[in-house]
Amino acid sequence: MHNKIRLGLIGGGPRSFIGPVHRIAAYMVEEFDLTGGVFDVDFEHSLSFAKALELDSNRCYKDLDAFITGESKLPEDTRIEVVVILTPNYLHFEMAKKLIEGGFDIICEKPVTVYASEAEELSLLTQKHGTKFCLTHTYTGYPMVRQMKSMIEEGKLGRIQKVDAQYYQGWINPFIHDSEKRKQVWRLDPAVAGQSCCMGDIGVHAFNLIEYTTGLKVQKVLSDLETLYDDNPLDVDGTVLIRMENGAKGVVRSSQIASGEENNIIISVYGKDGGLKWAQEDPTYLHYLPEGEPAQVLKPGNPYNSEFAMDSTKIPPGHPEGLFDAMGNIYKGFSKAIRGESYFNGAFPGIEDGVRGMRFIEAVLRSNAEGQAWVEI
Ligand SMILES: NC(=O)c1ccc[n+]([C@@H]2O[C@H](COP(=O)([O-])OP(=O)(O)OC[C@H]3O[C@@H](n4cnc5c(N)ncnc54)[C@H](O)[C@@H]3O)[C@@H](O)[C@H]2O)c1
């Protein structure tokens, strides 16, 4: 029995959306021990959260600088080893930089930074310091997304000839039409969200799923973005034509004003010999459309799946696993990297996926600004 990996959180406290997903994922894997952090921007909230979780309040810090100083003074065998960055986007880069330089390994939320140049800098810094870096593109943790990746890798679809990734939400619709209400949404504030709302927040997941499942890079993009109102600075919807490195054409469709939609992300990949389709609102079904044969529905936990997909389920078939489990699978893969053990190709996204994502977002913005021109990534 080995010691658990000591984990710290920056953000992710009582008032956060994605925090519970990370905490439960870390717990699920039984490899991590939540030890401390800066759980909320407000120290009082952070402290009461630490208390509720029965954590040592000395390991609850008022800000990141205090966290790094405090942890660095502790004996190495008690110090927090991996830090999870769960704050709004504009803080990721500076925080990651300080943590890399402080000797911590990192799990970071997407989008990894605000600018591609920052992601590139982080990539160089991780190499220089030997930092292990995980970027939580959560959907890559679903067993049937991993099965899709495995089947494409095995050549089941033949040459890839069409890709289509959709990520439709409607949650901004109730805010966007009221100029006061929309100012309250941090994802619409460039100072907090960065250069993009829709593409940076969710389009980048769709892009990531294309590169993740096909193993092919998107080479260039042509985009058409929507802000709806002149005084709204960031995109809330966009359609992006893409050209893959093998010449295949495709599309990324992303929206936060698709009224009534919840979290409708769908990835479809079509090759010469068949197609594969997966939808996150129905995550236990992978639709396999072999050319000239009846369509099949593949489900997790069955031995016909790849070793990688099988390793990504915890309970027998027919017991649905979801978002928490997908994040848990990413934590599981990263724990192996931290321990120096072998892991499946694709077990967790890393800083290079962050660089690709940021380059995609910037290329999409440039294409739109230049009047729907093709832009190389
Ligand atoms: N992987 C996914 O599917 C997914 C889903 C949701 C959000 N996210 C990403 O997670 C990040 C957080 O999003 P959210 O929706 O949870 O945001 P949120 O607004 O719900 O929570 C942000 C948290 O950060 C804390 N915080 C803010 N400034 C801080 C500081 N200086 N120090 C410490 N804590 C601070 C806040 O107190 C809060 O707990 C974003 O980058 C977002 O893009 C990813």
Ligand 1 atom nearest to CA at 46: 37
17 Cβ below 6 A of ligand 1 = yes
138 Cβ below 6 A of ligand 1 = yes
85 CA to middle of ligand 1, Å? 8
Of 70, 105, 138, the domain-final residue: 138
CATH value at residue 43: 3.40.50.720
Task: Note whether residue 321 is domain-resident.
Answer: no
1, pLDDT greater than 70: no
Q: Is residue 165 domain-shared with residue 278, that is, in the same domain? A: yes
Task: Note whether residue 339 is domain-resident.
Answer: no
Q: Among 18, 63, 185, 262, say which to mutate for ligand 1: greatest number of ligand atoms within 8 Å of CB.
A: 18
Dist CA 156 CA 290 (whole Å): 8
pLDDT digits (tens, 9 = 90+) for 344-358: 999 999 999 999 999
119 CA to middle of ligand 1, Å? 18
Q: Is residue 84 domain-shared with residue 29, that is, in the same domain? A: yes
Spatial CA neighbour of 377 closest among 241, 268, 269, 202: 241
Q: Is residue 81 domain-shared with residue 192, that is, in the same domain? A: no
Residue 282 has phi, psi (to 5 degrees) of -140, 60
Spatial CA neighbour of 148 closest among 243, 288, 304: 288
pLDDT digits (tens, 9 = 90+) for 209-218: 999 999 999 9
Task: Note whether residue 168 is domain-resident.
Answer: yes
209 Cβ below 6 A of ligand 1 = no
Ligand 1 atom nearest to CA at 139: 3
18 Cβ below 6 A of ligand 1 = yes
190, pLDDT greater than 90: yes
Q: Is residue 129 domain-shared with residue 158, that is, in the same domain? A: no
Q: Is residue 119 domain-shared with residue 13, that is, in the same domain? A: yes
Ligand 1 atom nearest to CA at 87: 24
CATH value at residue 290: 3.30.360.10
Task: Note whether residue 285 is domain-resident.
Answer: yes
Nearest CA to ligand 1 atom 35: 41
How many structural domains does the chain have?
Answer: 2
Q: Is residue 160 domain-shared with residue 86, that is, in the same domain? A: no
Ligand 1 atom nearest to CA at 63: 32
196 Cβ below 6 A of ligand 1 = no
SS3 of the chain: the string is: CCCCEEEEEEECCCCCCCHHHHHHHHHHHCCEEEEEEECCCCHHHHHHHHHHCCCCHHHECCCHHHHHHHHHCCCCCCCCCEEEEECCHHHHHHHHHHHHHCCCEEEECCCCCCCHHHHHHHHHHHHHHCCCEEECCHHHHCHHHHHHHHHHHCCCCCCEEEEEEEEECCCCHHHHCCHHHHHCCHHHCHHHHCCCCHHHHHHHHHHHHHHHHHCCCEEEEEEEEECCCCCCCCCCEEEEEEEECCCCEEEEEEECCCCCCCCEEEEEEEECCEEEEEECCCCCCEEEEECCCCCEEECCCCCCCCHHHHCCCCCCCCCCCCHHHHHHHHHHHHHHHHCCCCCCCCCCCCHHHHHHHHHHHHHHHHHHHCCCCCEEC
In the predicted model, what is the mean pLDDT of the chain? 97
Nearest CA to ligand 1 atom 15: 17
Model pTM? 0.97
Task: Note whether residue 344 is domain-resident.
Answer: no
254 Cβ below 6 A of ligand 1 = no
Q: Is residue 259 domain-shared with residue 149, that is, in the same domain? A: yes
40 Cβ below 6 A of ligand 1 = yes
Q: Is residue 47 domain-shared with residue 118, that is, in the same domain? A: yes
77 Cβ below 6 A of ligand 1 = no
pLDDT digits (tens, 9 = 90+) for 103-135: 999 999 999 999 999 999 999 999 999 999 999
Residue 275 has phi, psi (to 5 degrees) of -130, 165
Of 107, 138, 169, the domain-final residue: 138
40 CA to middle of ligand 1, Å? 9
13 Cβ below 6 A of ligand 1 = yes
136 Cβ below 6 A of ligand 1 = yes
Task: Note whether residue 343 is domain-resident.
Answer: no
Domain that holds residue 51: 5-138
Span 359-370, average pLDDT: 98
Span 223-227, average pLDDT: 98
Q: Is residue 213 domain-shared with residue 281, that is, in the same domain? A: yes
15 Cβ below 6 A of ligand 1 = yes
pLDDT digits (tens, 9 = 90+) for 262-280: 999 999 999 999 999 999 9
Q: Is residue 200 domain-shared with residue 297, that is, in the same domain? A: yes
Of 95, 114, 138, the domain-final residue: 138
Q: Is residue 150 domain-shared with residue 298, that is, in the same domain? A: yes
Q: Is residue 118 domain-shared with residue 149, that is, in the same domain? A: no
pLDDT digits (tens, 9 = 90+) for 50-109: 999 999 999 999 999 999 999 999 999 999 999 999 999 999 999 999 999 999 999 999
Task: Note whether residue 104 is domain-resident.
Answer: yes
160, pLDDT greater than 90: yes
89 Cβ below 6 A of ligand 1 = yes
Span 298-318, average pLDDT: 97
166, pLDDT greater than 90: yes
Task: Note whether residue 220 is domain-resident.
Answer: yes
